[in-house]
Structure 1
Amino acid sequence: MDEFIAAIQQFNSNRLPDMVGLKYQLMLENMFRFYRGTCFLFYDDLHKETGFPSSPLSWISGDLHLENFGSYKGDNRLVYFDLNDFDEAVLAPALWEVARTLTSIFIAFKSMDIDEEKAIRMAQLFMKNYACTLANGKAKHLETKTANGIVCDFLQAVRNRKYRDVLSKRTIRKKDRLAILLDDVRHKKLDKDLKKELKAHMNEWIKTSDEGPYHYSAEDVVFRIAGTGSMGVKRYAFLLKSERSEGKYLLLDMKQAVPSGLTPYLNSAQPQWNTEAERVVAIQKRMQNVSPALLSTTVFKGESYIIQEMHPEKDNFNFKFVKDRYRDMYQVIDDMAMLTASAQLRSSGRQGSAIADELIELGNSDHWQEPLLNYCMKECTVMADRYMAFQKAYSENAFPPTDLHS
């Protein structure tokens, strides 16, 4: 068990030390949060599994779990619910994506102390609709008019939200200008020189990028804490001000892209991307039905970054819905399975990924479902043991904490 503790420390060794300390602190909260923060451990286990069912190569998001689905406004300004995290995205066997998601279902139910039999039924439902969608060979998507239950609630909330309401929660008036609110627990003040450099870089990106918003300039920028899996990478929140429309602003997210944690476990050749951000954005655009507004890449001080319009965290699915809205979960799991299969169909036949016919064949076969289910149940048990060992190691000061408000 000491081996896996050392592996966690090593994996996070090249990230911002104060953020890594915070990441460890957050991973203590529950088993699901621990699972989110140790994606590489999941794939280290999977690639060693000799009995794991085979499947065609597909583009996968790489870290697909219940909380990496969410709603957002697309670049066409319509609202969608879809896969929404592609930091780990690579070309890999299609069922790797399914295994990551199914294991998250078992872990969510275990975290909520819900009977394993109920988790099994949800996992079986996911596999059934995933297979059915593949077998039909046609990618689908979810928007307000076609969604039901929790997903419909998510989409309606985004559609009805006014941008001025988002701004009012994220910004503060300082004399004659608007600034990003530093009281937000996810925001931290930047060094004066770095702030100046970032604003200049953003203004240059706006002028030179085809994806940049016309006639805007950077009004303010702060450090923004990334999610559990990415915590420790550099991330910034920008407030952009329109130069033509009085009182019009945009919030942008600029997040450092680092190599996928799946890279050491891949046997298939990957495209030669110019930057890690290009990898993330290219795969995201292939897999999503419609991409978020302003999705683009940039390079700042030799490091690549992903840029997109900022979306509130509450628009992501929360695994606690498993207990709070259990009856609604059947529809949600059904939708997530459809979206997972659709993303693979939509991106089929691109740079080494299987053509749709191969994915259709996978959907029509049943050789993989029982062994996949058994593997994911076993992996949930492994993760539970690791989580307890992590808690013990943390209590013995193996992972130095960081104050969220420091």
Structure 2
Amino acid sequence: MKEGRAISADEGRLRFEHEAIHSAAELFDAGKAARGKLPRSGHAEYKRAKNRDPIGILRTQQEHRVPELIPLRLERMTASPFAFYRGSAAIQAADLRDAPRTGVDVTICGDAHLANFGIYASPERSLVFDLNDFDESAYGPWEWDVKRFVTSVVVAARQRGFKESKVQTAALEAAASYRIAMRQITQLSVLERYYIRADVHRGQRHSSSQKVLDHAIEAASRRTSARVVRKITKRADDGSTMIVENPPVLSHVPETTEKRILGIVKRYLATVPSDIAVLLSQYVPTDAVRRVVGVGSVGTRCYIIVLSGPAGESLVLQVKEAVESVAVEFGGASAGRAPVYGDRVDSDEHGHRVVANQHVLQAVSDPFLGWVKYDGRAFYIRQFRDQNVSIDTETLDFRPFTDYVDACGTVLARAHAQSPAAPFIAGYLGGGTPFDSAVAEWASAYADQAVEDYQTLRKAVKKGEI
């Protein structure tokens, strides 16, 4: 609260001057007015930069990764065009750096492709559908998330083998679902927006889409710490739980690294809620291994830790290295976190960045989320395998595919709607389809670029150039 002009009690306000309140209507009108500077059709053209160097960007990312895991990352990225797209967020961030934008920033996912949405368990043990990856989250242009999302729809639909007319239908559906949801959500109060979440339930209908959802719910019920412990561990001679190696996916680490991991866990306890700290105090770490995760993340330091409780129960935590968001490093996004954080954390505390942005973007988050900086590296920690599952788009027929796309676009809008600028976005998008058509056109062109980059990487790997 600012000190300043005294205000009489009759005015129904604080007796001292406070910051101006920007109404949703004013922001909405500002968004509409922004079409005069950047027409919605202005997002349609993808302009390829003359100095593009996708292989150079991948080399830059490799400099700080575990060297022996780099070949595995390249192997996973060259498995298919969609796998490449999953791992090439840095390349797209660089391509978006100079793309047209309204100049309005929100907290963004930074890597909002189809495979980074999914189902997981809330602390109340109900299942929810939401974004589930925040390594590249930042404070940046809202358009970047939308373009990465719609392009992923095009790449996935083409890989699935749909006709091009259906591919374009799916791309338009992706953009429209975001636009419509943003317009609807911003008609609610900020508190009502905050409480919106997409709960997942088994259905009574026997549609193909509901069958896909029911299958995912069944899969989620099997993805628990208890099940993963039974699958990947055995009892040691002292009765403790020990992870069975499966290199390169699971590999035990040297004793010095084990001690480092234990140090990380000890510091992590200071960043979780007090109830979680008390809960974890009843567990003892009994094993730790390095684990290879994802596609783009391969090569960053990631570990899983088995903790054993007083009744022999096990809890598994994942410790994952956090580095600077590609949206900032390669895209030039304004910051890792929204300005509201101010000077409360170090600018290079990327573990906190990931956790803080996850709390903003998700309707409900893992209560075990925490972060730590240790030995000059940032990490974030979360529960491992808490009924989390993703939808495999390569198995979906067209109707379930577009239903899934619609759900993803809706929760992406909900995530962006937590930022103060959301009514501006709604005003800019409007009630018509010009933005949908423009982004679908851009995504189609960029999907072509991604496939070209995929082929370039395959050739470079084959020649030993990377």
Shorter-chain TM-score category?
0.7 to 0.9
User: What is aligned with 1:158?
Assistant: 220
Q: Distance in 2 between matches of 1:40 and 1:161?
A: 30
> What per-residue deviation string (whole Å, max 9, x for no partner) do you get for residues 345-381 of structure 1?
1x212xxxx1x42233134254422221111111011
TM-score by length of 2: 0.77
> Mind listing any 5+ residue stretches in structure 2 that lack a counterpart?
1-50, 204-209
CA positional deviation for 1:162: 5.8
| 2:389 paired residue among 297, 315, 328 | 315
User: What is aligned with 2:398?
Assistant: 326
User: What is aligned with 1:337?
Assistant: 409
CA positional deviation for 1:152: 4.4
TM-score by length of 1: 0.88
User: What is aligned with 2:254?
Assistant: 191
> What per-residue deviation string (whole Å, max 9, x for no partner) do you get for residues 189-214 of structure 1?
10022213323542454478534324
Residue identity matched to 2:307: L
SS of aligned partner of 1:255? strand
Residues 319 and 379 in structure 2, CA contact (< 8 A), matched pair in contact too: yes
Distance 1:207-1:383 versus aligned 2 partners, 3 A rule: closer
Distance 1:173-1:326 versus aligned 2 partners, 3 A rule: farther
CA positional deviation for 1:15: 1.2
SS of aligned partner of 2:83? helix
SS of aligned partner of 1:218? strand
User: What is aligned with 1:168?
Assistant: 230
> Mind listing any 5+ residue stretches in structure 1 that lack a counterpart?
400-406
Q: Distance in 2 between matches of 1:98 and 1:28?
A: 24
| 1:247 paired residue among 312, 317, 342 | 312
Residues 107 and 416 in structure 2, CA contact (< 8 A), matched pair in contact too: yes
User: What is aligned with 2:13?
Assistant: none
CA positional deviation for 1:182: 1.3
Distance 1:24-1:389 versus aligned 2 partners, 3 A rule: same
Residues 177 and 410 in structure 2, CA contact (< 8 A), matched pair in contact too: yes
> How is 1:256-405 mapped onto 2 (pairs within 5 angstroms)?
256-263=321-328, 264-266=330-332, 268=334, 271=339, 273-274=345-346, 275-311=349-385, 315-321=389-395, 324-345=396-417, 347-349=418-420, 354=421, 356-366=422-432, 367-399=434-466
Residue identity matched to 1:70: G
Size of the aligned set, in residue pairs, is 387
Percent identity over the alignment is 24
CA positional deviation for 1:119: 1.3
Distance 1:85-1:46 versus aligned 2 partners, 3 A rule: same
Distance 1:152-1:229 versus aligned 2 partners, 3 A rule: same
Residue identity matched to 1:31: P
Q: Distance in 1 between matches of 2:282 and 2:229?
A: 19
SS of aligned partner of 2:307? strand
Q: Distance in 1 between matches of 2:202 and 2:112?
A: 23
Distance 1:173-1:383 versus aligned 2 partners, 3 A rule: same
Distance 1:70-1:142 versus aligned 2 partners, 3 A rule: same
Distance 1:223-1:135 versus aligned 2 partners, 3 A rule: same
CA positional deviation for 1:14: 1.8
The worse-fitting range, judged by mean Cα deviation, of 311-320 and 389-398 is 311-320
Q: Distance in 2 between matches of 1:296 and 1:247?
A: 24
Residue identity matched to 1:343: A
CA positional deviation for 1:159: 4.0
SS of aligned partner of 2:149? helix
The worse-fitting range, judged by mean Cα deviation, of 286-295 and 112-121 is 112-121
> What per-residue deviation string (whole Å, max 9, x for no partner) do you get for residues 237-262 of structure 1?
000111x3x12110100101100011
SS of aligned partner of 1:368? helix
User: What is aligned with 2:145?
Assistant: 97
Highest CA radius of gyration, 1 or 2?
2
The worse-fitting range, judged by mean Cα deviation, of 26-35 and 67-76 is 67-76
CA positional deviation for 1:288: 0.4
Distance 1:209-1:315 versus aligned 2 partners, 3 A rule: closer
Residue identity matched to 2:293: A
Residues 131 and 362 in structure 1, CA contact (< 8 A), matched pair in contact too: no
User: What is aligned with 1:132?
Assistant: 180
Give the RMSD, CA atoms, in angstroms. 2.5
> What per-residue deviation string (whole Å, max 9, x for no partner) do you get for residues 49-105 of structure 1?
3xx453732211000111101122223333212100001101112121110011111
CA positional deviation for 1:111: 2.3
Residues 111 and 145 in structure 2, CA contact (< 8 A), matched pair in contact too: yes
